[in-house]
Amino acid sequence: MFVVDDDPSVLRSLERMFQVEGYVVESFAHPRHLLARGPGQRPGCVVMDLRMPELNGLELQEALRREGWKQPIVFISGHGDVPVAVQAMKAGAVDFLPKPFSTEDLLAAVERALAQDRAARAVEEEREALRARFSTLSPRERQVCELVTQGLLNKQIAAMLGTAEQTVRLQRSRVMEKLAVDSVAELVRLMERL
Residues in contact with other proteins by the rule CB under 8 A: 7, 9-10, 12-14, 16-17, 20-21, 51-53, 56, 76, 78-79, 81, 98-104, 106
Return the number of the residue (39 or 53) whose C-beta is nearest other proteins.
53
Q: Least distance (Å) from other proteins to the CB of residue 25?
A: 12
Return the number of the residue (51 or 142) whose C-beta is nearest other proteins.
51
CB atoms within 10 A of CB 71: 21
Residue 55 φ/ψ, nearest 5 degrees: -105, 130
Length of the chain (residues):
194
What 3-state class would DSSP assign to 158? helix
Q: Least distance (Å) from other proteins to the CB of residue 180?
A: 49
Q: Least distance (Å) from other proteins to the CB of residue 68?
A: 24
Return the number of the residue (34 or 187) whose C-beta is nearest other proteins.
34
Helix (H) or strand (E) holding 98: strand 95-98
CB atoms within 10 A of CB 190: 17
Return the number of the residue (102 or 136) whose C-beta is nearest other proteins.
102
Q: Least distance (Å) from other proteins to the CB of residue 185?
A: 52
Q: How many angstroms separate the CA atoms of 33 and 18, rounded? A: 20
| Cα dist from 12 to 23, 74, 168, 191, whole Å | 14, 17, 66, 48
First-to-last C-alpha distance (Å) of the chain: 30
Q: Least distance (Å) from other proteins to the CB of residue 60?
A: 13
Return the number of the residue (5 or 179) whose C-beta is nearest other proteins.
5
